[in-house]
Structure 1
Amino acid sequence: MHWESADTVPQGPNQPCPSSTKSHVATTLLPAARQSLFDHAVGTDPPAERTGQRQRLSTEEATRWADSFDVLLSHKYGLAAFRAFLKTEFSEENLEFWLACEDFKKTRSAAKLASKAQRIFEEFIDVQAPREVNIDFQTRELTRRNMQEPSLSCFDQAQGKVHSLMEKDSYPRFLRSKIYTDLLSQTQRRLS
């Protein structure tokens, strides 16, 4: 099961990109995805796609992403920009896991809880999972034990570790990245 949005690179079910494909993705598809993000965010969509209802990203909003990691994650375009950045580092599984956990916590059906938990575990936590996140052995084992009786909090520790990793490692690099600086520049140019 994939937790990807429409702007992600297509893959077969549970198949990670081969490394040769990754380099191709980084050089050809990612700039296109980044441009698409810019087009939607700053309002340079082709006229046929424009609607009066679409919100545009302001420079003030994009600047606020630097206030905190959680501000970035709570903004639709911030999340999309961060996802595009993580793809360039081949670490988007961290964000996808975090988002899957956020979605999982909204599960209200007891019947769906166990199956959703199992899918997340198999995709992100299990050793040799197709999109395995980088967590320590103790957290992995605690999560494995939590799977015996899944609850809405069974991934809390693993999700917290991944959030912390992204916040301390990827987020500062994102703020210095070309993706973020170009997006800020484009929002500023739109205003002038």
Structure 2
Amino acid sequence: MHREPADTVPQGPHQPCPSSTKSHVATTLLPAARQSLSDHAGSADPPAERTGRRQRLSTEEATRWADSFDVLLSHKYGLATFRAFLKTEFSEENLEFWLACEDFKKTRSAAKLASKAQRIFEEFIDVQAPREVNIDFQTRELTRRNMQEPSLSCFDQAQGKVHSLMEKDSYPRFLRSKIYTDLLSQTQRRLS
């Protein structure tokens, strides 16, 4: 079932990747990945393209996404490309939940903690939530109990289950996907 994205939960900041020592390649992201990045940024073009600079992605950086799932998640274009892939599988709620949890862990205001926790629970965890993630009954119930006294760790088990699901299920398919292989080919062609 296709679900429209909601704007109620922040998607978290993206960490830039370390710069590569090899030459960067000016790369236009594949349309689906560019759209995912622009959905997040709120504009039709990545920020640097709006200011006249080209976004750069090296083949080495894109290849490193295959090193580990966490390397992929830590790279802003990796994250955007993976999000675009998940949209093709109608499972982007998993990544959005994981990002919401990462943002939630940075909450410093005790006053905001409970309301942010409630929004995440209602959007992703509760039975028949608009963007319900696929977690087992025990994890859902533990998270429900954690909501009685929300803390920065109240979603840890659910977030861990969703991370594991994406890493074992979606990530291997992503590495074989046309979105990823086309992006790699595109960066390699720019070198020649």
Q: Considering the TM-score relative to the shorter chain, is it more than 0.5? A: yes
Deviation at 1:191? 1.5
Residue segments in structure 1 that go unaligned for 5+ positions in a row: none
Residue aligning to 2:168: 168
Q: TM-score, normalised by structure 1?
A: 0.77
Deviation at 1:49? 3.5
* 1:151/1:40 CA distance change after superposition, 3 Å: closer
Deviation at 1:96? 0.1
> What whole-Å deviation, never above 9, does each CA across 1:74-116 have from its counterpart, x for those lacking one?
0000000000000000000000000000000000000000000
Q: TM-score, normalised by structure 2?
A: 0.77
Q: In proportion to residue count, which structure has more helix?
A: 1
- Mapped contact 2:123–2:131 kept (Cα < 8 A): yes
Equivalent residues, number:
192
Q: Which moved more, 1:23-32 or 1:88-97?
A: 23-32
> What whole-Å deviation, never above 9, does each CA across 1:34-54 have from its counterpart, x for those lacking one?
578699999998999365755
* 1:47/1:23 CA distance change after superposition, 3 Å: closer
* 1:5/1:106 CA distance change after superposition, 3 Å: farther
Which runs of 4 or more aligned residues in structure 1 lie more than 3 Å from their structure 2 counterparts after TM superposition? 1-55
> What whole-Å deviation, never above 9, does each CA across 1:130-171 have from its counterpart, x for those lacking one?
000000000000000000000000000000000000000000
Aligned CA RMSD, in angstroms, stands at 10.5
How many angstroms apart in 2 are the aligned matches of 1:38 and 1:54? 14
Identity rate, percent: 95
* 1:6/1:155 CA distance change after superposition, 3 Å: closer
How many angstroms apart in 2 are the aligned matches of 1:36 and 1:68? 21
> What whole-Å deviation, never above 9, does each CA across 1:51-75 have from its counterpart, x for those lacking one?
5755401000000000000000000
- Mapped contact 1:69–1:171 kept (Cα < 8 A): yes
Deviation at 1:11? 15
